[in-house]
Structure 1
Amino acid sequence: MGLRLFIKEHISFILFELCVVLFILSLYWLDGFRNINTALYSIIISVMLLFSFLAMRYFVRRNYLNKITQLPNVMEDALQKNAKTVEYIQTEQYLHELYHVYQMEVQALYANQIRQEKFLNQWIHQMKTPISVLELLLQNDEQLDKKSVQEEVDRLKRGLDMVLVNARIEKFEEDMQVEQVQLGELVKATINDNKRLFITKHVFPVIRVEEEIIVASDSKWLKFALGQFITNAVKYTFEENKKIVISAEKNNDTVQLHIKDEGIGIPKSDLSRITKPFFTGENGRKTGESTGMGLYLANEICEKLGIKLTIESEVGKGTTVTLTF
């Protein structure tokens, strides 16, 4: 197979060399040179030199040609270095780099698949809780507690929103639409969407965002990220009659939005890891409701929107999330 490939590769070269020899002989013939024996001797010597050159060339390239004409059984077969000429060495280097790029893409896809499967398993496990509560409420012979039903429905809705965002974030750019967003209105809408959670936890929102503060962003994605920060602030405020203060300030070319709670705070050992996927930390284990994906998705959205996210916290005093536009 290697020899056949070599001949196919050099057939044009052989024909060209033969044409050159015939051309030179025809020039001598036209100039009056008529010695046939000398002409035949020249042709034979030229052919011998040509085939000697090709034989040495084939001997140098034989291992490489045999490698590329045989299908590899394992990747290590394809990565063997058999080339000895400059051209083939460069070709091998290119193929090795191409394989490296391919491996990186495969690993990224594999990691994303594992992340999606793990998230889906945790999400399904978490969604069993509100469904079980709803089933118990329906089995109760007493009058149906609409407030309790609504709380569980809200938990299901928040879970569905999260799984939809997780599915769509890989194609974020296709779904992004930058516009002028009135920050105060967006904050109010986000709090209104979670008003039952505030009422249930007996936590009060305080909004200090001026109406004229406007930022360039995607309102839908930004609202989801804000929702994660606000719901986390409420969920991890275990004492009643506490406040969630949401304020904004404009400094030259930047706008900062602060979400400050009076909750239990985040331990320093967890603070650097809270935006990692599936990290629930000490606080997540206390509630038993965390998938470890809320802050991860919110952080991903902030990065894609060009928003700098800063989280500061002190155990027992609360947490402050700052978004810098």
Structure 2
Amino acid sequence: MGLKLFVKENISFILFELIVVLFILSLYWLDGFRNLDTAIYSVIISLLLTFSYLAIRYVFRKNFLERISNMPNSMDDALQKNAKTPEHLQTEAYFQELYRLYQNEVQNLYATQNRQEKFLNQWIHQMKTPISVLELLLQEEENNLDKTSLQEEVDRLKRGMEMVLMNARLEKFEEDMQIEQVNLKGVVTATINDNKRLFITKHVFPVIDIDEDITVTTDSKWLKFMLNQFITNAVKYTFEQNKKVKIFVKKNDSNVTLYVQDEGIGIPKSDLSRVTNPFFTGENGRKTGESTGMGLYLAKEICEKLGHELKIESEVGKGTIISVNF
């Protein structure tokens, strides 16, 4: 197989050399064949040099040609290093780098698939709670149906569905992104209104301190999703009543920074550096039993893709401050 491939590879060169020999013979014929022995000698020498060159070239390329002529049984067979010429050394280096890139893409694909699977399994497990509560509520007599509790569980389902959808869209973030000038107070107010029942239930009060004219360059939909994560976490981990969640802005010549500050239980110092890791729930998540460990992770990913800077500061017993620098 190697020899057959070598002949196919060099057939054009062989034909060229035959044309050269015919050209030499034509020169002697035009010269009148005054010295036939010289013509024959020239043809023989040309053919010998040509076939000697091809033989030496075949020796150097034999292993390479035989290797690519037979389909490999494993990746190790395909990536063997036995090149002898600069061309083959470069080819092997190319395939080694190509395999490294392929491995990285496969690992990223597996990591994404595993993350999606783990997230869905965890989300499905947590959605059993509101569904069970809804079933219990519906089993009660119609006149005694607690509509407030019913709405709370529906809101929990809606928030869970939104997180699943955003997690799926994050994989194709660039296709779903629309950068524009966004009025910051408008987005914050809309997010607060979406969570007003949560504030009322927990007896926590939002305080907004943002000028009407402050705008930032971002994607309003993704920004609203991030704010929703920050605000729901702030309220969810505020166990005492009549506390506040403050949303305010600090602005200088080049930057606008949005802050979400709560008066909740705070994040333990040992957990603070890991709260943006996927599926990390920490001590606080175990207390409520409702955390998927994905909210702050998704917020961090969104900030990185939008070019914003996310910071989290917290002290146990005093609360948490999350800031987004635009």
- Aligned pairs for 1:210-289 (under 5 A) are 210-289=211-290
Whole-Å Cα distance in 2 between the matches of residues 261 and 232 of structure 1? Answer: 9
Tell me, which stretches of 5 or more residues in structure 2 are unaligned? none
Segments ≥4 residues shifted beyond 6 Å? none
Letter in 1 for 2:104: M
Could you tell me how far apart the structure 2 residues matched to 1:116 and 1:159 are? 14
In the aligned structure 1, how far is the partner of 2:184 from the partner of 2:147? 33
Shift of 1:29: 3.1
Question: Is contact 2:28–2:39 with CA below 8 Å preserved after alignment?
Answer: no
Paired residue secondary structure (1:177): coil
Q: How far off is 1:293 after superposition?
A: 0.6
Deviation, 1:49, is 2.5
Deviation at 1:26, TM superposition (A): 2.3
Q: Counterparts of 1:299 and 1:232 in 2: how far apart (Å)?
A: 15
Match in the other structure for 2:24: 24
Distance in 2, matches of 1:17 and 1:137, equals 92
Q: Point out the more displaced range, 116-125 or 172-181.
A: 172-181
Deviation at 1:30, TM superposition (A): 2.1
The equivalent residue for 1:87 is 87
Trace 1:288-303 onto structure 2 (pairs within 5 A): 288-303=289-304
Per-residue deviation, 1:32: 3.6
Q: Hey, what's the Cα distance between the residues in 2 that align with 1:43 and 1:36?
A: 11
Q: Distance in 2 between matches of 1:204 and 1:6?
A: 80
Which residue matches 1:131?
131
Q: CA deviation at 1:22?
A: 2.3
Tell me the residue number matched to 2:175: 174
TM-score of the superposed pair, with normalisation by structure 2: 0.96
Alpha-carbon offset, residue 240 of structure 1? 1.0
- Secondary structure at the aligned position of 1:240 is classed as coil
Q: Is 150-159 or 77-86 further displaced after alignment?
A: 77-86
Note if contact 2:24-2:43 (Cα within 8 Å) is conserved in structure 1. no
Instruction: Decide which moves more: 281-290 or 45-54.
Output: 45-54
172-181 or 2-11, larger mean C-alpha shift: 172-181
- Residue 62 (str. 1) matches residue 62 (str. 2): yes
Q: What SS does the corresponding residue of 2:213 show, helix, strand or coil?
A: coil
Aligned to 2:47: 47
Cα displacement (A) at 1:24 = 2.3
| Percent identity of equivalent pairs | 74
Q: Verify: 1:13 aligned to 2:13, yes or no.
A: yes
Give the paired residue count: 325
Q: d(CA) in 2 for partners of 1:182 and 1:26?
A: 86
What residue in structure 2 maps to residue 151 of structure 1?
152
SS in 1 for 2:279: coil
Partner of 1:315: 316
Partner Cα distance (1:45, 1:212) in 2:
89
> Is residue 205–residue 243 contact of structure 2 (8 Å, CA) maintained in 1?
yes
CA displacement, residues 201-243 of structure 1 (integer Å, 9 cap, x when unaligned): 1111111111111112111110010000010011111111111
Measure how far apart 1:247 and its partner are.
0.8
Q: Normalising by structure 1, what TM-score? A: 0.97
Structure 1 gaps of 5+ residues are: none
Alpha-carbon separation, structure 2, partners of 1:182 and 1:49: 80
1:104 paired to 2:84: no
Question: 1:282 deviation in Å?
Answer: 1.2
DSSP-derived class of the 1:123 partner = helix
Tell me how far apart the structure 2 counterparts of residues 88 and 57 of structure 1 sit (CA, whole Å). 12
Residue 84 of structure 2 aligns to a residue whose secondary structure is coil
State the alpha-carbon separation in 1 of the partners of residues 289 and 77 from structure 2: 50
Q: Name 1:113's counterpart in structure 2.
A: 113
Secondary structure of the equivalent of 1:269? Answer: helix
SS of residue paired to 2:248: strand
The offset of 1:168, in angstroms, is: 0.6
**Paired residue type of 1:78:** A
- CA offsets, 1:152-211, max 9 Å, x none? 000000000000000111111111112221111211110110011111111111111111
Q: Is the 8 A contact 2:181 2:215 kept in 1?
A: yes
